[in-house]
Copies of this chain bind each other. A is one copy, B any other.
Amino acid sequence: MDIKQHLNDQRLLVETALNTFLPKEEGLLADHFAALRYSLVAGGKRIRPVLCMMTAEALGARMEACMAIPCALECIHTYSLIHDDLPAMDNDDLRRGKPTNHKVFGEAQAILAGDGLLTMAFALLSDDALPDRLSSADRLRIIHLIARAAGSHGMVGGQALDVASEGKTVPFETLAAIHASKTGALITASVQAGAILGGATTAQYEDLTAYGQHLGLAFQITDDLLNVEGSPAELGKAAGSDAARRKATYPGFFGVETTRRKAGEAIKAAVDRLAPFGTTATPLRELARYLLKRSK
């Protein structure tokens, strides 16, 4: 299969759905909704929602009526980028080649755009009026696992640890914890949400969870590699920014070659857990391999 084409098709589905869920930019809150939209439509690979969709589809589900859940994942990811870019955090002026949210709307409105997107995610996830035929119990399970993955025990905690570790010499265990929680948790949760959407058995859920965990690790490792070696065009921001900030990274611990090998091992471990699945899981396998290639 042509994974690049498939990823592009899935990305467009996500972006169309995001547009239907975004409030119109009118009335007293037009500026606030413009700030939400600005970052939500700023592009990106939409990896989290696409993973959720591909996982559900690997189990035979059809996603057309279930788009609120992948869209909620993208809202959470986007809010985290807006807050990470703030002057008090990474102080980034560019994101995906465009001025960051606070550069356009000011710091206060950027904080609120992030808060709004995070909260909107949970409004989407809990909207029982949606035509997705998901049982209330399954919907609750999805909300709970996403909230845990996005919060203090996951993404928010990882970012707190990352900020606190900046400029310090930290042991590898701390870097591993930052990676697992800051990036890995929401990627794993995206796969798990798709597994519930697809009606996974317990064994399938475990395999898919492991796939998500290995993939999440590979994702962060290749991000570290790209940050060392990528061009600003690929990154949408300056290369070498991690080193400039003295952030702990995989290449910093192991060097580029060993890091690349570790990324390959994580991808292999991810793909291995898909062995019990048939051709419906081909997109998940190809996505993992594609991820590895982008860092070479």
Contact = CB atoms under 8 A, between A and B. Distances in A.
B122 A122 contact: yes
A177 B32 CA distance: 14
A127 interface: yes
A89 interface: yes
B108 A128 contact: no
Given A116-B151, A144-B123, A156-B119, A161 B29 contact: yes
A109 B164 contact: yes
Interface string A113-133: 011101110110111100000
A143 to B, nearest CB: 4
Contacts of A112: 83, 156, 159-160, 163
B111 A83 contact: yes
User: How many monomers of this chain does the complex have?
Assistant: 2
A148 interface: yes
Interface in A50-66: none
A219 to B, nearest CB: 21
22 contacts: A23-B152, A31-B160, A31-B164, A32-B156, A32-B157, A32-B161, A36-B152, A88-B106, A88-B107, A89-B108, A112-B156, A112-B160, A114-B115, A116-B156, A116-B160, A118-B118, A119-B156, A123-B147, A125-B143, A128-B141, A136-B136, A143-B143
Q: Which 4 A-B pairs have the closest CB atoms?
A: A119-B151, A88-B107, A136-B136, A123-B147
